[in-house]
Amino acid sequence: MSQGSRAWVLHVDLDQFIAAVEVLRRPELVGKPVIVGGRGDPTERAVVSTASYEAREFGVGSGMPLRIAARRAPDAIILPVDHEAYNEASAEVMATLRAQPGAVVQVLGWDEAFVGVQTDDPEAYAHALQRAVLERTRLHCSVGIGDTLVRAKVATGFGKPQGVFRLTAENWLRVMGARPTVDLWGVGSKISRRLAAIGISTVAQLAAADPDADGLVAEFGPRMGPWFAQLGRGDGARVVDDAPWVARGHSRETTYQHDLTGASQIDEAIRELTAQVLADVAAEGRPVVGLALKVRYAPFITKTFTKKVPETFDRAEVLARVMELVERIEPDRPVRLLGLRAEMRMPEEARDGHTPTRSGW
């Protein structure tokens, strides 16, 4: 490390991770359209977990119903999800990142992580990191380089696939200014529409916004309004934190191959989901403080019902509160999916009020 080295944030994103893992196990699939989802049967209700670049050329994307994906790419190979294989591959990648000189690694998921480094040549470091990952795991990755976590995360999209891209305060507005706000990390389609409704459509407009005068605080509140303005500038956390992630909650959901059409079927399904979620929560040793019930009616209309609950470890109490949410399910409407999430009290030592898209945590 030279005397002129400085702190950089690298965002490492594995290219088409799940599909790439499957292709490694089946070399004959190289160059072919591959779709991974559900149990690999497009006649069943399931969604696409990932698609290879070859499948994406047919318009197949994550979250798409598997049957539609199969129609769009009729020659695609459709494979079942194998969580164990992806966990193993991910662990190898993260171990490789941690082994890099001076690296501080903050894992974001199976296929992505922030790496904090001190170097005077972040591009050279990024290319060395890519080579190390490829040599150890045979997986390709893209790397975004930034002076904040937000800029590094956004930069990765410009480097895909298998590339490296730098995005800092110096070129942020030149690269991002004319782009729609939905291109920002942490701004989805709903938020972008709300921003557009107050006259903010581009990243440059958001970056220049006065939270009070331009309606951000009025629309999003005194905390999130200023945060969106900060996001528009690409500002935020600059330090990668390798402290273990503390889950705020656990959730389970099930897509049913046949619609649930009666109260008894829904009751049985809810009890099973609650048991699964409570088993996950019990391993955390923290009380439940909130619940969210997700209901997808046929053909594809989704509603979410939430409830705050007094802190409790009592399984019977949680089930009773869940059943109160169940009362909000519309009777006589076929249900194709149910999901349940239990929020837990955060430990005192955990950083409160932050998520990976809010200033990097």
Give the Cα separation of 323 and 109 in Å (integer). 32
Tokens of 348: 């005192």
Of 22, 54, 112, 343, the catalytic one is: 112
Tokens of 230: 């900060």
Query: Smallest Cα–Cα separation from 180: which of 154, 209, 157, 201?
Result: 201
Return the number of other C-beta atoms located less than 10 Å from residue 32's C-beta. Answer: 14
Give the Cα separation of 246 and 288 in Å (integer). 14
Q: Is 54 a catalytic residue?
A: no
Cα distances (Å, whole numbers) of residue 341 to 110, 131, 269, 331, 352: 21, 39, 14, 22, 19
The residues that are catalytic are: 112
